[in-house]
Amino acid sequence: MALLFADSFEHYGTSTAARANMLAGLYATIAGSSQVVNDPSVARTGNRYYTDYQAGGTSIRYPTDSNEVGAAVGIFLPQMPTSSAGRCGFSIRDELQNTIVNVAIQPNGSVTIERTDSAASVIGQTDSGLITTGAWHHFEVRVLQDNVVGEVELRINGVLELIVNNVDLGTVLPRFWRTWGGSAVGSVDRRFDDLILWDTTGGVNNTFFGPARCIPNTLASDVAGGQWSVVGAASGAAAVTEGAPNADTSYVTAAAPGNISDYNFSELPPEAEAIAGICVIGMAKLAAGGLGNAQISIVSDEEVAEGEDNVLTSAYTYRADIFEKDPATGQLWTKSAFEAATLRLEKTA
């Protein structure tokens, strides 16, 4: 595993409903007035992006215990911070949400690496003028947490801008990626799209992704013979593919362990030539008390890449599965192989 999570913010809904949905299983904290915005003219991929206000941050948990992690994200600022105290960006934090490093955009368009939330703790700074308003910039950082040989490497739009070696980055493992703004960031609007989290433990995707995109894909149609029932929609694919979860309005359901349904993906855009991996984010619950498991897998040329066997509860909960390699080849996905593959739902218990 190296690609850990990917999000284009397309399926949580918008505004306050999105905040509640994001907190149903994946994100750990959401700042009070932040939201998903539906604005295709600004979004870097799909129709939507995430925007953060205030100094409080939105965080998502790294699912692994790695001391070396990476984060890639597109950031768009409508206006620059007007003071150093209003600088903004994101953090890598530990289990207690203590900062390991901040990546902060300064009023002069430089990017600083801070060891703590104090502006006095800068351990690296790029040239000025690197970040401009009104355009998406691709930020990617690698953090090696160590209290003697800690490292931070920063790339902007795929270009190495900063590397800091042999710094004390504490004794606690990275655990969260978190949006961040200084004490005076106020109502400055920071926009995020195409968030990718990774670590260095895998055979693929264990280093910088470059200016990658998280392209949203939806289920196009049902494969005949599916054993899950469809409620509230014309097809299973339509029931589970939405711009916002609609709870018990439309869904697919299975009663018997072993029930399987397969679904076809939509075509990818022509520019999707290299595929680093597939992140499937699904929301599920038990319809009644008791026990029940469900699994999301991907089937390619009759070979199955299995996702987690999830123990469900009676609360709708988001979970994410990563499929880095085509199970038919053991290699990264190609566009044609992905488009020929199917998504499988199985009630496993």
250 binds Ca ion (CB under 5 A): yes
| Concatenated DSSP letters of 156-182 | ETTEEEEEEEEE---SS-EEEEEEEE-
Binding segment (CB under 5 A) for Ca ion, from list 66-74, 91-99, 198-206, 238-246:
238-246
Nearest CB to Ca ion, comparing residues 155 and 191: 191
13 binds Ca ion (CB under 5 A): no
What's the token pair of residue 277?
Answer: 């991996």
- CA-CA distance, 79 to 120, in Å (whole number)? 24
Nearest CB to Ca ion, comparing residues 143 and 281: 281
What backbone phi and psi angles, to 5 degrees, belong to 179?
-65, 150
Binding segment (CB under 5 A) for Ca ion, from list 6-14, 54-62, 96-104, 174-182:
6-14
Pick the binder of Ca ion from 43, 101, 130, 152 (CB under 5 A): 43
- CA-CA distance, 294 to 308, in Å (whole number)? 8
Binding segment (CB under 5 A) for Ca ion, from list 1-9, 146-154, 219-227, 329-337:
1-9
7 binds Ca ion (CB under 5 A): no
- Least distance to Ca ion, CB of residue 46, Å: 4
114 binds Ca ion (CB under 5 A): no
CB atoms under 10 Å from CB of 183, counted, come to 12
- Count of chain residues binding Ca ion (CB under 5 A): 9
46 binds Ca ion (CB under 5 A): yes
- CA-CA distance, 89 to 190, in Å (whole number)? 8
Binding segment (CB under 5 A) for Ca ion, from list 39-47, 70-78, 87-95, 314-322:
39-47
Binding segment (CB under 5 A) for Ca ion, from list 2-10, 92-100, 103-111, 253-261:
2-10
Residues whose CB falls within 8 Å of the CB of residue 69, separated by 6 or more in sequence, listed in order: 62, 92, 142, 143, 145, 174, 197, 198, 199, 200
DSSP code for 58? -
- Least distance to Ca ion, CB of residue 228, Å: 13
- Least distance to Ca ion, CB of residue 251, Å: 5
Which 3 state secondary structure label does DSSP give 226? Answer: coil
Give which of 290, 289, 323, 292 is closest to 306, Cα–Cα: 323
Q: How many residues does the chain have?
A: 349
Pick the binder of Ca ion from 165, 246, 313, 331 (CB under 5 A): 246
CB atoms under 10 Å from CB of 163, counted, come to 13
Report H helices in the chain.
15-22, 236-240, 335-340
Nearest CB to Ca ion, comparing residues 160 and 247: 247
x/- site string to Ca ion, residues 122 to 161, per CB under 5 A? ----------------------------------------
Asked if residue 127 lies in contact with residue 147, where contact means CB atoms within 8 angstroms, the answer is no
14 binds Ca ion (CB under 5 A): no
Give which of 178, 149, 176, 154 is closest to 165, Cα–Cα: 149
Q: What residues between 70 and 99 interact with Ca ion by CB under 5 A? A: none
Binding segment (CB under 5 A) for Ca ion, from list 38-46, 129-137, 265-273, 283-291:
38-46
Give which of 185, 154, 346 is closest to 257, Cα–Cα: 346
Nearest CB to Ca ion, comparing residues 45 and 59: 45
- Least distance to Ca ion, CB of residue 7, Å: 8
The contact set with Ca ion (CB under 5 A) reads 8-9, 43, 45-46, 48, 193, 246, 250
